[in-house]
């Protein structure tokens, strides 16, 4: 059976020697599905469903009044960073009722990118707490939303109680270059860590 042409985006190139599982996490309505879809070189797998009135009782729509769909399992995409390195992106649902599902998704993940929203920074605490509890290193990317307040990096670091070495960047999940920069900051951080260090 012959190998697929390198130019075919559906298949991984024969030159790839390393594949890495990366989680894209964050609270409800922070832009995870958009982020994965923006970066994926293949058609992303999405498990979005239309929100119902029943969902209004469990999903906090504060800060996202126009949201009409929500991820109920995961998003999945793929991004080739170099001839030898491919990232598999797994977007996890942000609602607390999906915590068990996303704990399962942590298995085999090298690291996580936490998307945050300056209008709801406190909503990031539970997500970061789970990552720390499971020993998964992460970087934080503040996703840009129209009309959201802009704060100095030092203030955001203090509000999120980030360690000095934890990367903190800003991005716009709708823009590929911006989103790639956020992901690269995580990958660079992971490369600085000692093998076996969690």
Span 55-86, pLDDT tens digits:
454 555 555 555 455 544 579 999 998 899 99
Contact residues for 190 (Cβ-Cβ < 8 A; gap 6+): 110, 111, 137
Could you report the per-residue pLDDT of 78-136, keeping only the tens digit for each?
999 889 999 999 998 865 656 677 678 888 999 999 999 999 999 999 999 999 999 99
Residue 96, sorted as left (phi over 0), alpha (psi -120 to 50) or beta, turns out to be: alpha
Nearest to 127 by CA among 117, 173, 185, 50: 117
The pTM of this model reads 0.80
> What does the pLDDT look like over 167-176, one tens digit per residue?
999 999 999 9
d(CA 53, CA 30): 20
Helix or strand holding residue 38 (H, E):
helix 32-39
- At residue 39, φ and ψ (nearest 5 deg) are -90, -25
Residue ranges of domains in the chain, CATH in brackets: 18-192 (3.40.50.300)
140 close to 118: Cβ distance less than 8 angstroms: no
Cβ neighbors of 195 (< 8 A, separation 6 or more) are none
Regarding beta strands 85-91 and 75-80, do their DSSP bridges make them parallel or antiparallel, or are they unpaired?
antiparallel
């Amino acid at each position: 059976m012959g190998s697929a042409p390198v130019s075919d985006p559906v298949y991984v190139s024969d030159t790839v020697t390393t594949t890495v599982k990366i989680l894209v996490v964050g609270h409800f309505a922070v832009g995870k599905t958009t982020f994965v879809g923006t970066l994926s070189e293949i058609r992303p797998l999405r498990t979005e469903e239309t929100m119902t009135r029943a969902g209004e009782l469990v999903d906090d729509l504060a800060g996202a009044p126009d949201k009409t769909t929500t991820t109920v399992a995961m998003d999945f995409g793929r991004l080739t960073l170099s001839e030898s390195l491919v990232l598999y992106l797994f977007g996890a649902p942000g609602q607390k009722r999906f915590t068990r599902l996303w704990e399962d998704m942590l298995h085999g993940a090298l690291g996580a990118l936490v998307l945050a929203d300056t209008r709801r920074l406190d909503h990031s605490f539970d997500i970061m707490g789970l990552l720390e509890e499971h020993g998964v290193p992460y970087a934080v990317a503040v996703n840009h939303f129209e009309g959201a307040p802009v704060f100095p990096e030092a203030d955001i670091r203090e509000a999120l109680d980030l360690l000095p070495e934890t990367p903190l960047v800003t991005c716009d999940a709708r823009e590929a270059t911006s989103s790639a920069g956020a992901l690269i900051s995580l990958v660079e951080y992971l490369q600085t860590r000692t093998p076996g260090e969690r």
